Amino acid sequence: MKIVGKYPTTRLRRIRNSEWMRRLTSENNISIDDLILPIFIRDGKNKVDKIKTMPGVFRYSVDKLSLIMNKAKKMKIPMVAFFPYTPSNKKDKDGSEALNKDNLICRSIKYAKKYYPNIGIMCDVALDPYTSHGHDGVLINNDVDNDKTIKILVKQALLQAEMGCDVLAPSDMMDGRIGEIRKALDKKNFKNISIISYAAKYASNFYGPFRDAVGSTKNLKSNKKSYQMDFRNSNEAFREIGLDIREGADIVMVKPGLPYLDIIKNIKDNFKIPVFAYQVSGEYSLIKFGINKGLIKDEAILESLLAFKRAGASAIITYFALDLAKKLKN
């Protein structure tokens, strides 16, 4: 790129010297339309739990979902994402609770679609919240079996679709699962249900607080590096994205977010498909604890989220969704 202009005739500070001028010349902006709010669901009645590792984030029993769904409605958040905190006595080696028509996610979907029909509902398709070992699929000889896992994931996806879920988000990183889920959905006439593929999901160190939130930390005795992506790799993401698009993904996800802005940009530039970013629990908690301790200002929230937009993300799953929505409204 050729640089034009020369000091002193060119002074770039002239386009920064007032608030109104900075607004006029801003290259990237974020709106409430860019935000997806994650919500954790727990068993029981009349329950709202604090999550120690995620200050300001709570688990809600289904009958208390209105507390946060009302806020999402008021702030005009376009979509929420449900995640279950499954009781230990409902977990087993195959994650069979994922196929229970009365599980936490199914009940939450039905509740939300009844009382909040204009808010989109996104649900993960994965087994880790339901397995006794904390992995995203069926373990055979201490490794997740790809093809056996897919058979269960297809059933889980169909169940969530039947309950009224708008957007299915396979987050398991099994090879070929997007194609099998898409075929099953179309066969059952769920042609209008979207698939957001966690296509570039890295075996990251930033997931810790989330695993606390869904109760899988103590169950997981090993890592997920045999199926989640190696964080040293970038070209591998292109292969994952390309395959998932070919299999029928409508939108692709990059997870985590901030450490992988280069991946978001490269995918958007090369594939021209909507790319969502997940500002994961570790990113959230580091920023939130930093703000609470006075180490950084709360403007860091907007700064971090704008980085996703600058990289090319169409939307962002973030635990800051309500906080930022309030700021944007004001």
Which residues are known catalytic residues? 201, 255
> 237: which residues sit within 8 A by CB, 6+ positions away?
199, 200, 229, 254, 263, 266, 267
**Residues 257, 204 contacting (CB under 8 angstroms):** no
d(CA 129, CA 134): 7
d(CA 134, CA 218): 8
**Residues 139, 81 contacting (CB under 8 angstroms):** no
C-alpha angle 125/131/137, rounded to 5°? 55
Torsion of CA 266, 268, 270, 272, to 10 degrees: 180
d(CA 104, CA 33): 27
Identify the bridge partners of residue 60 per DSSP, sorted by sequence position: 41, 48
